Every structure is written in C-alpha cells, then in structure tokens.
C-alpha cells in the first residue's frame, strides 16, 4: 500500500537507477564468488550525480570518476584483505588517488606487496596489524563509558583506535579515567567532537515513514516478509502503522542498545519492493545487493524527515556511546540526519549498506551519522534482502 503515483506493481519498470559493477583484479575462487555480493554494471542516474555534486562539492565529471573508482575499490577490498593475510593492517578508499589503499605491517613479504600493487591497490606500511587494533577496540568495548565519551573505532589510515571525546569534556574525571584505561588497552588516539551522539527517532519503502506508538521512524530495506529498521524505534511485538496510518505489521525482533537493529513483518495489504525512495532529489533507487563499501567511499541516505543526502564513509566497527547505552559495530558517515530519519536506508550505488541509527548535528549546519550494517541484521535474523 503506497501513496498515489508510485504503485509497487509498476515501479520497477519506471525507475532510472544507479548501479555498480564488480571489477576486482585479484583472483577469486568459485566459492569466494558465490559468497560475496557482486554489484552489477554501472548506469548512473543524473539525480544521483546531482546529489553527489551538491553534498560532496564535486563536478559532474568528478562524481562520475569517483563512482567508477569506488566500484573497483569495493570489489577489490575482500580479495586484497585475503592476500595480505596476517600482515593486513586495514584498507580505505583514497579520494585523492582514486584507489583502494591497503595497509600492511613490516613483516609482509615482498610477493604479497607486489600482488597487491599489481591488482591496482596502493600499499602503505604500518606498525600495527588490523588484528591488534581490533583487539584493542574489543578491550575498550568492555569499559563503562561516561557521557563525555561519544564513540570509538579503528582508524585504518591513522593505524590507531580513535576515542572521540565531546568538546569541553576532556578534563572531566570520568572521561580522563576512561581514556587512561583505553590507552592501556593498546594504540589509542583521542580526538574531540562537537556534540554527544543521539538517536534520530521522532515523537508524535526505504526512507518512507512508519509509526509505532508516538514515534516516527523510517523504513530501511525490504526483506522477504518485511523490512529492516532501527531497534530504538520499537520493541519486539510493537505494532507498526504506515505513512497513511494503516496497519503494516509488528516488530518481530528488536535490539537496542548493544545493537540498533530490528525487523518488521509486512501484511494487511502491504507488500515489499527492492526500492529506496529518492524523494524527487534523485530517481527512486533499485536495490541489487549488499556489497560493503570501503572507508572513504561515497554513500547516500534516505529518510522521512530530511529525505536524500550524501556523504562519505568515515569509519567502521565504531562503538557509539548513546545516553541509553553503547551500540557496537556501527559505521560512521559524514551524512547529515535529523529526528525521524532513524531506521532509514544507507545505500552506495545500488548496494544496501545499513539502517540509520543516530549522530550529531543536522542538515542545516552539518553533522555525522552512524548506521548499523545491513548484512549484520540479515545474518542475525536469518533474513534475505529483497533485490531487483
């Protein structure tokens, strides 16, 4: 059931969409290919390019070139990670070079480095392996964080775990104790952020609004039998109403804090389609898979309050310290969001990335937003993404 002018029965035939292609050059086995989501061939919509120009400050030519380079980096990243083995120190998309950069420790053998470079990746030598940085973050995850600590995550380009402290709270005794304990866990850098993290639910098909109780949130992605969204929007069993007030279904599973994900079953005349709303800013986007974009890649978000905005992936596996409790394994972006956008879609090209959780700032003055990765949600509940 949808508003007049965009019926699910005909939407697939009417959409102009941006799609992506796999272009990895490291060899992959047949099993690898079967397990890895593969983007499709590129056909980029004018609306998507316009949004990237507006939000990322790019020319049209730069936006087209960046999408092409990000396609290659996204496809290359999993195989580059395998090739680096125990010497792997992380990877990210470098917007200046237009290449995937792969960090390796000093003990990486020469043949590994040659293979990475011949694949098209840039290689940087670092002190700490990704395994050590991940272990450091895991130890920090076990600490009790005070409100003055906003979040923490591994920064592969800086080769450290970054702890983000709210401006003006650095001298707070609880914050100082947390930072001291974090430094004991391993390589840590402390940075200052503008404001504490908050969720984006609001009182009173991807990106479309729904309501539970007095809360308005946004649909993330259609799955077979329902849709995924943010956990803080409603508890298991809560009823859900659509944009027109009619009954959709109920929260079948929900987790918050610790995680911030949920899924809702769909019935009563509603059905699912593999679409994320463009809200007139871009054409509605078909969803073709869930290949994970690397740090540094461009990414866009659809939500029922601020609609369509774009930015870049800033960090992965970040722990966010909301007032309700810490949430783990989040991805941080430079995309803005506001209350009501919670649960909405993060998408890169035609590849689903995650559901909006929270952040700081707004779409007038800017800010940062986190999302819970969609593949984690699908795995947790045994769901299958509805794709075109």
Residue 302 appears among annotated catalytic residues: no
What is the dihedral sign for C-alpha 79, 83, 87, 93?
negative
Asked if residues 191 and 357 have their Cβ atoms less than 8 Å apart, the reply is no
Peptide bond into 380 cis (omega under 30): no
CB-count exposure of residue 9 (10 Å: 0-12, 13-18, 19+)? exposed
**Chain-centroid distance, C-alpha 255:** 17
Exactly one of 128, 232, 309, 386 is catalytic; which is it? Answer: 232
- Coil, helix or strand for 14? helix
Asked if residues 344 and 304 have their Cβ atoms less than 8 Å apart, the reply is yes
Exactly one of 342, 345, 348, 357 is catalytic; which is it? Answer: 342
> Contacts for 176-180 with beta carbons within 8 Å, 24 or more apart?
178/143, 178/144, 178/145, 178/146, 178/149, 179/149
Exactly one of 94, 260, 341, 350 is catalytic; which is it? Answer: 260
- ∠ CA 2-373-22, nearest 5°, is 90
Residue 224 appears among annotated catalytic residues: no
What is the dihedral sign for C-alpha 205, 207, 211, 212?
positive
* CB contact set of 103 (below 8 Å; sequence gap of 6+): 88, 89, 90, 91, 123, 124, 125, 126, 130, 156, 157, 159
Rounded Cα distance between 235 and 252, Å, is 9
* CB contact set of 171 (below 8 Å; sequence gap of 6+): none
70 closest CA partner among 92, 102, 48:
92
* CB contact set of 314 (below 8 Å; sequence gap of 6+): 295, 332, 333, 334, 368
306-to-61, 116, 209, 309, 382 alpha-carbon distances in Å: 26, 40, 11, 8, 31
Side-chain half-sphere CA neighbours of 309 within 13 A: 22
Residue 342 appears among annotated catalytic residues: yes
User: If you ran DSSP here, which 8-state letter would residue 128 be given?
Assistant: S
Task: Count other C-beta atoms under 10 Å from residue 95's C-beta.
Answer: 17
Catalytically active residues, by annotation: 232, 260, 342
């Amino acid at each position: 059931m949808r508003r007049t002018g965009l019926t699910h029965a005909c939407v697939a035939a009417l959409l102009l969409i941006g799609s992506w292609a796999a272009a990895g050059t490291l060899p992959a086995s047949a099993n690898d290919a079967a397990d890895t989501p593969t983007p499709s061939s590129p056909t980029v919509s004018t609306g998507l390019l316009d949004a990237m120009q507006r939000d990322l400050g790019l020319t049209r030519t730069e936006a087209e070139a960046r999408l092409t380079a990000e396609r290659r980096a996204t496809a290359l990243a999993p195989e580059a990670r395998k090739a680096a083995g125990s010497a792997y120190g992380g990877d990210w998309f470098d917007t200046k070079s237009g290449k995937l950069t792969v960090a390796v420790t000093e003990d990486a053998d020469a043949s590994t480095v040659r293979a990475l470079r011949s694949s098209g990746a840039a290689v940087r030598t670092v002190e700490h392996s990704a395994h050590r940085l991940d272990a450091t973050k895991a130890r920090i995850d076990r600490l009790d964080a005070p409100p003055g600590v906003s979040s923490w995550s591994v920064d592969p380009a800086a080769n450290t775990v970054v702890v983000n402290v709210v401006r003006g709270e650095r001298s707070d005794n609880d914050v100082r104790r947390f930072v001291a304990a974090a430094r004991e866990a391993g390589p840590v850098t402390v940075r200052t952020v503008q404001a504490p993290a908050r969720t984006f639910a609001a009182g009173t098909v991807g990106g479309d609004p729904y309501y539970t109780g007095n809360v308005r949130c946004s649909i993330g992605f259609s799955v077979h039998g329902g849709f995924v969204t943010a956990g803080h929007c409603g508890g298991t069993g809560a009823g859900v109403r659509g944009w027109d007030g009619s009954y959709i279904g109920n929260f079948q599973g929900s987790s918050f804090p610790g995680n911030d994900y949920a899924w809702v079953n769909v019935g009563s005349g509603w059905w699912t389609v593999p679409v994320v709303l463009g809200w007139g800013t871009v054409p509605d986007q078909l969803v073709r898979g869930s290949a994970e974009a690397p740090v540094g890649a461009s990414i866009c978000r659809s939500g029922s309050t601020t609609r369509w905005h774009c930015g870049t992936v800033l960090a992965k596996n970040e722990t966010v310290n909301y007032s309700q409790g810490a949430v783990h394994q989040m991805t941080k972006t430079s995309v803005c969001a506001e209350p009501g956008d919670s649960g909405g879609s993060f998408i890169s090209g035609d590849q689903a990335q995650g559901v909006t959780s929270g952040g700081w700032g707004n779409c007038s003055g800017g800010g940062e937003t986190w999302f819970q990765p969609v593949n984690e949600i699908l795995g947790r509940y045994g769901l299958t993404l509805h794709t075109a």
